[in-house]
Structure 1
Amino acid sequence: MQSSTLSAALGELPSGFVRLTDVIPDLQVDLKYASDDNFVGKPLIGYEHATAVLTGDAARALRDVQAQLKPLGLGIKVFDAYRPQRTVDFFLQWAADDHDITCKEAFYPALDKPRLLVEGYLNSPSGHSRGSTVDLTLIRLSDNSELDMGTPFDFFGPQSWTDYSAISSSQKANRAMLQKIMLAHGFIGVHEEWWHFTLKAEPFPDTYFDFIAS
């Protein structure tokens, strides 16, 4: 594993990275870790500028996903993209604090915080820090409403597994559609999170970055 602590100058990004909305101007972005709407309950270190960034290769693949969805009246909404290593480090510190359970009922009701590490919901290093991993869902372009996937983003439990069966037929179909189109454009998912995808041919497979995007 190679680590990188590149610091981008204001308005610049390391070579190979792009702002997602520069590549996909009509993209809906809701960076959860730049807001209070996440499992910690506050904006996180590393997300000060609320800028969604990916490698150029991953961004262009997402552009192709958006283009295929558009004739169907659908699009994508991004919840997270590149994640600085400092944010990942914070997650591990947060998980070790048994007293801070502010958002437990909404995001991990059946788990004690240390289990988030044991069961692999929080990892260090994280693929997000390599710059080609994205968390996203499908939306209707008519009103930007999200398709029902059965759980919210970052719900930690078996209900979020891609093959979880105790959901409605429409929720299963929505998950299957998301998986199918992402895989068709070169992404691979993970069993535990229906929203999580990594570009299979990622350009930095062994490098974990720690710059703050702006």
Structure 2
Amino acid sequence: MLTVRFARLLLLAALAVLPTLSHALACKEGGRNGNVLITEDIGTTVAVPVTENTGVPIWHSSQRTVNVHCYKDNNVREAEEVYFYPNPRPKQGQPQGVQFGVVYKGQAYYQTERIPTGFSIPQCPSNVSLDKCPAVSFTLSFQVEIATKKPYPGNGQVGINQFEVLQFDGKYGINNAPNSNLVYKVTGLDKIRFIQCAVKVWLNPPNNTLD
């Protein structure tokens, strides 16, 4: 009797874990065996005066055009829309003084909610095995943008060097399986500095050259 009860407890525990695993959509760049990470460094030092208002863009990535391939890595047969999920790793540490946005189809999104890409993975017929469900491939372009966000850190530093900005995923949330979904990560955040003053120079006449 104890053995049967123990087996039932194990089964219940396994079922409790399943929703976090089964409601997952896999999306990669270029195919099922494709790339799962886009990394971009911000490049040179960015100086931000502490007098700057919140929401002022201070950096944007190059225009990224990616070929995304999504397939069902779950037990869900219904059609699913593909989204950008901002901040897919909330425990990675939060940067100070900045916020991250996605520029898609000419619109900048600074929010914590998911952003629809406009592409969907089709429904999987009931007579098809899960590993044979239809997949979807599409090409889209986007940019990542960094903007100011008060309060600014007193030590003048963002506090972290890298940040996973977004992940491509389905409507049931983040797929946390390793190497399963395409992620965009920005690095070099230690090059952002918050300075106490800004200097503006006016030339008179305007066409003079400042040495």
TM-score, length basis structure 1: 0.27
Higher strand share: 2
Higher helix share: 1
Larger radius of gyration: 2
